Structure 1
Amino acid sequence: MRVCVVGSGGREHGLALALGRTAEVVVTPGNPGIPGSVATPPEEVDADLFVIGPEQPLVDGLADRLRADGRRVLGPGADGARLEGSKAFMKDLVRDAGVPTARYGTFAEVEPAVAFLRTLPGLYVVKTDGLAAGKGVLVTEDLDEAVDDVRRKLSGSSFGDAGRTVVIEEGLTGPEASVFVVCDGQRAVALPPAQDLKRVGDGDTGPNTGGMGAWCPVPFAGDDLADDVVTRFVTPTLTALRERGIDYRGVLYAGLMLTPEGPKLIEYNIRFGDPDSQVVLLRLTSDLADLLAAAADGDLTRAAPVTSSDEACVLVVAASEGYPASPRTGDRIEGLAAAAAVEGADVLCAGVGADAEGALVTKGGRVLDVVGRGPDVATARDRAYAALGHVSWPGMHHRTDVAADA
């Protein structure tokens, strides 16, 4: 099977490695650090299966265009992609489906938004309705900060049109977990849970990012959680989508808070997460290409069961100076070969470009995913940080506490 992975980041590098165990893989547009990258637009690539990585092409209807051309695609059409493209749409749909989630309200004007904030018990979550590259969420215990954030988002000053409608939620407490579920429109198969860290600084300090680290397995979240997500979260969601005429063939990424009252949905994403899917995909021992092709065909019953290695996997993101607000780019990356030579380590290229001499340079905020594998989380963590110790560029920063408590 020839698989085309659409995207250019660490998630796509991880997908290429996992799919490449049983399939030929091309990545478009990829980046200079991902083997098999091609500059050809996906519509012009000859492949047996297309796997679309990022959310923006899905929201923009790439899966619809490829399917209209007779291609086999893993990824929702633009109608299903509204689950991530509009947080208000997502919250309304899961409410109608009976999925456990936080109390919320959707607002386009400041006064009713502030009035709703004042009814909440003291942990406030303010989200842009539209896409904001993982940065459009404020979580705070400070009411004044929440009110100020609402004003800036609704005015368009912080996130433009993506923030002119906001979803305000009651804050949930408890550990978080990510569960990726492959869907064929009617049925769903869950992959093992993972955890990630969103804030830029150690101890969960600083602004939210797209993700600064991840690990799998999660000691307190086993098969029971994955089964529960399929039964009580994803299956009712697929039913609600079908009732709206939406045939959802793709990944549903369920971001969960494991509250004292049980798991509750924080959000759905419409694709594999980044960086938490990498630690899940790299542990798989079953045929990922076969699983995704079966989902794209609408028949998961023919796919082999999902199996994973007994190894643990820990990932640390190395970011550019200024990330997430204003990342600096163009710095030459040193030490990649030495990092990749560390036992049990992989280096995935995310925000990576090349200079005039062909050397790899920083091109985005999150530049590298440095992954360690081992018989347990502690060993995997040690290997990830050992590999990361070989890598450098001016202003590079990363968290030092990824999986420290796992």
Structure 2
Amino acid sequence: MKILVIGGGGREHTLVWKIAQSSLVEKIFCCPGNAGISELAECIAVPAGGFQELKDFCLQKTVDLTIVGPEQPLVDGIVDQFTAAGLKIFGSNKAASILEGSKIFAKQFLARHNIPTASFRSFSSAASAAEYVKSTAGPWVVKADGLAAGKGVVICQEQSLALDTITSMMEQEQFGLAGKSIVIEECLQGEEGSFIVLTDGETIMPLASSQDHKPVFDGDQGPNTGGMGAYSPAPVLEGPMSQKIMTKIIQPTISGLAAEGIKFKGVLYAGLMIVDNEPFVLEFNVRFGDPETQPILTRLKSDLVPLLLASVEGNLADFSPEWRPESSILVVLAAGGYPGKYEKGKVISGLETLATEKDIIVFQAGTKISDGATVTSGGRVLGITALAETLPLAREKVYQAVEKVHFDQVHYRTDIGMKALKYLE
């Protein structure tokens, strides 16, 4: 098979890394890719003509399956266009992708189908949103309606921050059109987790549980990022909780979409808050998580390609994935200043020292090759992943590896995975 992976971050490096292990695959293309991906796949430039040129490329190169990494192409309808051209493509269509593309749609959908989530109000007027905040007790969670690269959610403990956030999103257009409308919701107190499944619209295949770490600083302090680290499995989502999530959230979501005329194929990712042993939906994503994909796929023993193909072709019920028993943990190395302004072009050293270490894998995200050196080109630069028999051992192993890699102003959290330790004591 020939495979095209769309995207150029750590998630896509992980997908390419896993796909490259498949005996079914003879050639991998990636658009646009990054420095790490270029070692495993042929990277191609993002076409000026968008989806049409990518379709032409797939037809010319006889690509058997395209896999979409990031959310924007899904929301923009790439799956519909490829499918209409007779090309196999893994991911949700445009109608289904609105679950991630619009926070307002997602919240209203959850309410329509009695799926547990925080109470909320939506606004298209900054004045009305501000009036609501002034008339209610906090804390508040303010969310941009559209896509904001994982940064369009602000937890506001103080009324002044909520009002400033409304102004920056709706009037100063911090996130462009994504913030023209917003959701303000109740701030749930509990523990977060990521529950990710594959589906062909009927069969639902849960992947290994995981937990993301969104805020930029230790102790979940500071602004949200695209994710500063993750680990799998996540004890908070294991055992009876897993079945509870399937029964109360995942199955009603897939059947609710079907009842509204939307057949969901691809990845459904529920960002959850566990409150008093009950799951609540914080948000939906319609693609593999980043950074959750890294620890999840390093634990997947089965070939990934047949699972993705089965989602497209509608025979997912014929497969059952096999998982490694070890724990996996990923720590993101970010550019100084991220998720705000940061500099690019910093030379990365130490990657070669990790290349031969057992059960240590470096997934590159914001990187490129410049004058023969690997340099930074994004906010989240690298994700260093470790596998070990237990999570504490994996934590020790990953942070030993992190210390061997350096670039100017490198920043990372030192507490990834700490939340799980209370379950393991």
TM-score range, shorter chain: over 0.9
Alignment of 1:114-153 (within 5 A): 114-118=130-134, 120-153=136-169
Distance 1:244 1:228 in 2: 23
Name the TM-score, length of structure 1 as normaliser.
0.95
Distance 1:289 1:230 in 2: 24
Q: Which residue of 2 aligns with 1:291?
A: 307
Distance 1:281 1:212 in 2: 17
1:99-125 CA distance string (max 9 Å, x none)? 110101110112332343345542210
Structure 2 contact 209–234 (Cα < 8 Å) conserved: yes
Q: Which residue of 2 aligns with 1:20?
A: 20
State the Cα distance separating 1:292 from its structure 2 match. Answer: 1.2
1:118-150 CA distance string (max 9 Å, x none)? 455422100000111111111021112112211
Distance 1:273 1:119 in 2: 36
State the Cα distance separating 1:245 from its structure 2 match. Answer: 2.3
State the Cα distance separating 1:243 from its structure 2 match. Answer: 2.7
Q: Which amino acid aligns with 2:352?
A: A
Name the CA shift for 1:108/1:79 in 2 (closer, same or farther; >3 Å). same
Distance 1:329 1:298 in 2: 43
Structure 1 contact 63–77 (Cα < 8 Å) conserved: yes
Q: 2:205 aligns with which of 169, 175, 189?
A: 189
- Partner-residue secondary structure (3-state), 2:410: coil
Q: Which residue of 1 aligns with 2:342?
A: 327
Structure 1 contact 183–248 (Cα < 8 Å) conserved: yes
1:42-99 CA distance string (max 9 Å, x none)? 4213322221000011111111111111111211111111111111011111211221
Q: Which residue of 2 aligns with 1:314?
A: 329
Distance 2:215 2:298 in 1: 24
Structure 2 contact 331–384 (Cα < 8 Å) conserved: yes
- Partner-residue secondary structure (3-state), 1:80: helix
Q: Which amino acid aligns with 1:38?
A: C
Q: Which residue of 1 aligns with 2:42?
A: 37
1:400 counterpart = 2:414: yes
- Partner-residue secondary structure (3-state), 1:210: coil
- Partner-residue secondary structure (3-state), 2:236: coil
State the Cα distance separating 1:311 from its structure 2 match. Answer: 0.6
Aligned length: 404
Distance 2:303 2:244 in 1: 23
Name the CA shift for 1:299/1:228 in 2 (closer, same or farther; >3 Å). farther
- Partner-residue secondary structure (3-state), 2:237: coil
Distance 1:90 1:205 in 2: 26
Alignment of 1:212-291 (within 5 A): 212-260=228-276, 262-291=278-307
Unaligned regions of 5+ residues in structure 1, if any? none
- Partner-residue secondary structure (3-state), 2:375: strand
Q: 1:166 aligns with which of 133, 157, 182?
A: 182
- Partner-residue secondary structure (3-state), 1:263: strand
Q: Which amino acid aligns with 2:400?
A: A
Q: Which amino acid aligns with 2:10?
A: G
Greater Cα shift, 32-41 or 133-142:
32-41
State the Cα distance separating 1:316 from its structure 2 match. Answer: 0.3
Distance 2:8 2:82 in 1: 19
Unaligned regions of 5+ residues in structure 2, if any? 48-53, 421-425
Distance 2:254 2:92 in 1: 12
Greater Cα shift, 55-64 or 266-275:
55-64
Please identify which structure carries the higher helix content: 2
Q: Which residue of 2 aligns with 1:370?
A: 384
Distance 1:64 1:358 in 2: 39
Q: 1:82 aligns with which of 82, 86, 98?
A: 98
Structure 1 contact 121–170 (Cα < 8 Å) conserved: no
- Partner-residue secondary structure (3-state), 2:400: helix
Aligned-residue RMSD, C-alpha: 1.6
Q: Which residue of 1 aligns with 2:50?
A: none
State the Cα distance separating 1:223 from its structure 2 match. Answer: 4.2
Structure 1 contact 185–247 (Cα < 8 Å) conserved: yes
1:68 counterpart = 2:73: no
Q: Which amino acid aligns with 1:85?
A: G
1:289-341 CA distance string (max 9 Å, x none)? 11111111122212x21221111001000011221111211111111111233
Alignment of 1:97-116 (within 5 A): 97-116=113-132
